[in-house]
Chain A
Amino acid sequence: MTSILEFILRLAVWLLLAPALPGIINKVKAWVAGRQGPPMGQLYYDLARLWKKSVVMSTLASPAFIIGPAVAWIAVLVAAMFLPLGPVGGAPGFHGDVLLFIYLLAVARFCTTWAAMETGSAFEGMGSAREVSYAVLSEAALMTAVLSLGVQSGSVTLNEMLATSAGAGAVLLAAGLFTVLLAENSRVPFDDPNTHLELTMIHEAMVLDHSGPPLAVILHGASMKLMLFAVLLAEAVLPLGNMQPLMATFALIGAVLAVTIGVGLVESLLARFAFRRAPLLLTTAFLFCVFALLIAWKGGAA
């Protein structure tokens, strides 16, 4: 009974809290720029509005144009459900679920890009090409980070890997994962979430032709993905498993907020990079994770 309650609670956290994160980022940006900015709940209003709207679909698109976002959204949600949430815990987990976690994110990527390519538009093509190309580097970095957590904790189950701290390499790992977070969620300096109708976009370019409920699902999924990476980063660095439940909850919330504010600050202080510099940054993130892996390896061996 409690496990069902717990499941519902976690589901609710992911579904209801995720759209708050982009709101926080926007507030931070507005505060740095000295503006008032949109209200924190702006994304909730947008989602509610989109959910009621009708759908316009390209004459070229097949049903996968709508199925894609749905599958991607579910894939992100299931991946998120594998992450433990402090004292609420995570899914029971099994040996090797961490790989399922990474590949569920890949499923989401496949589906959103496939849906984008449905329209035959050059913009969507451009966005998709960038999305899948940068994902090559960020997935390598993510896998390295996960491997270093595995080596550190001696386990291949997400619950156990995230319970301990990342050890001496935590700083490196945090830097690497934070960069991956920025790249995977199409934030500055990889992409600018504020631009529309420019040649410089990744995520926005892919969703140009979506409308109504499918667009709502895509936006909600993107916010869940942001929260997923923030939670992953927080749990990878903090030894939540060794804390009191209440303490762990506060630490987790605090860390996720810190990451979110960090994204906002990065976005306020940095400009978007030229696209040819993005691989260099992602390679750096990958190297951070590689060195974290080495440190974990040395630490674990001793």
Chain B
Amino acid sequence: MSPLVNIIVGLAMGLNLLALGSSRLPSVIRAMAVQGVLLGMLPLVIETDFDWMVMLVAVVTMAVKGVLIPTLLRRAMRAANIEREMEPFIGFVPSLLLGAAGTIAAIAGARALPLLTEHADTLLVPGALASVFTGFILLVGRAKAISQVCGYLILENGIYLFGMLLIHSTPLLVESGILLDLTVGVFVIGIIMDRIQRAFDSLDTRKLTALRE
């Protein structure tokens, strides 16, 4: 099981860097969507015996993260008429290097953590840490709301990966957690998009500072 999990998580980590390095919003959304689908497959791979519940959760996760949320985001993007992140607070090359450094640090740092032996040689924990870190970079370093939302979702993927550690011991709890998580995610995004769009006709968070008075 371990090699396949590692390949999937490794790909997800690569997608993190792709999201950090690309200036075009559609590719950031695509990276996030593909990552969501990849991670949605994880329960199927980890859970060796077939289970309807796991199957269902996986399919729902993939559908929401791979189709629903990206569609919402694309629509918002078209409505706000923005395609590109023009002036990020942290440039693309620096955030790429930062992300890579974070990934390496996550791999190195995960060795130092007191993990169960079954998790010690998988990439689950480093992948989770790296995704959370990537999410933070996107949240801090980007000016456009859509990139920030993508950052939030990637961060959320990292938390989801942490949840995967528990899937053997408390499967039902993890699965319901995932579903709850998805619901909240969709709601939050839908609401944020809607509000911002209605109020400002634009999705640039820099203009939100007008609200501070």
Contact present between A and B (CB < 8 A):
yes
- Which of A's residues lie within 8 Å of B, judged by CB? 279-280, 283-284, 287, 290-291, 294
10 A-B pairs with the lowest CB-CB distances in the bound complex, closest first: A287-B100, A283-B93, A280-B92, A283-B96, A280-B93, A279-B93, A280-B21, A284-B21, A290-B100, A294-B104
For A279, list chain B residues within 8 Å (CB).
Answer: 93
- Which of B's residues lie within 8 Å of A, judged by CB? 17, 21, 92-93, 96-97, 100, 104, 107
For A283, list chain B residues within 8 Å (CB).
Answer: 21, 93, 96-97
Instruction: Output the nearest chain A residue to B99 by Cβ-Cβ distance.
Output: A287
Complex CA gap A283/B21 in Å reads 9
**Nearest chain B CB to A136's CB is how many angstroms away?**
12
For B97, list chain A residues within 8 Å (CB).
Answer: 283, 287
For B92, list chain A residues within 8 Å (CB).
Answer: 280
Q: Is the interface of B mostly helix, strand, loop or mixed?
A: helix
Taking a contact as CB atoms under 8 Å apart, the answer to whether B107 and A280 are in contact is no
For A294, list chain B residues within 8 Å (CB).
Answer: 104, 107
Complex CA gap A279/B107 in Å reads 26
Instruction: Output the nearest chain A residue to B18 by Cβ-Cβ distance.
Output: A284
14 further A-B contacts with Cβ under 8 Å, apart from A284-B21, A287-B96, A287-B100, are: A280-B21, A280-B93, A280-B96, A283-B96, A283-B97, A284-B17, A284-B96, A287-B17, A287-B97, A290-B100, A290-B104, A291-B100, A294-B104, A294-B107
Complex CA gap A283/B17 in Å reads 11
Cβ contacts A to B, 5 pairs, < 8 Å: A280-B21, A283-B93, A284-B21, A284-B96, A287-B97
**Nearest chain A CB to B3's CB is how many angstroms away?**
10
**Nearest chain A CB to B14's CB is how many angstroms away?**
8
Instruction: Output the nearest chain B residue to A290 by Cβ-Cβ distance.
Output: B100
**Nearest chain A CB to B2's CB is how many angstroms away?**
13
Complex CA gap A161/B100 in Å reads 26
Instruction: Output the nearest chain A residue to B94 by Cβ-Cβ distance.
Output: A283
For A284, list chain B residues within 8 Å (CB).
Answer: 17, 21, 96
For B100, list chain A residues within 8 Å (CB).
Answer: 287, 290-291
Complex CA gap A116/B44 in Å reads 60
For B21, list chain A residues within 8 Å (CB).
Answer: 280, 283-284
Complex CA gap A287/B94 in Å reads 12
For B107, list chain A residues within 8 Å (CB).
Answer: 294
Instruction: Output the nearest chain B residue to A281 by Cβ-Cβ distance.
Output: B21
Complex CA gap A280/B104 in Å reads 19
**Nearest chain B CB to A162's CB is how many angstroms away?**
25
Complex CA gap A245/B17 in Å reads 40
For B104, list chain A residues within 8 Å (CB).
Answer: 290, 294
For B17, list chain A residues within 8 Å (CB).
Answer: 284, 287
For A287, list chain B residues within 8 Å (CB).
Answer: 17, 96-97, 100
**Nearest chain B CB to A228's CB is how many angstroms away?**
28
**Nearest chain A CB to B163's CB is how many angstroms away?**
25
Instruction: Output the nearest chain A residue to B97 by Cβ-Cβ distance.
Output: A283
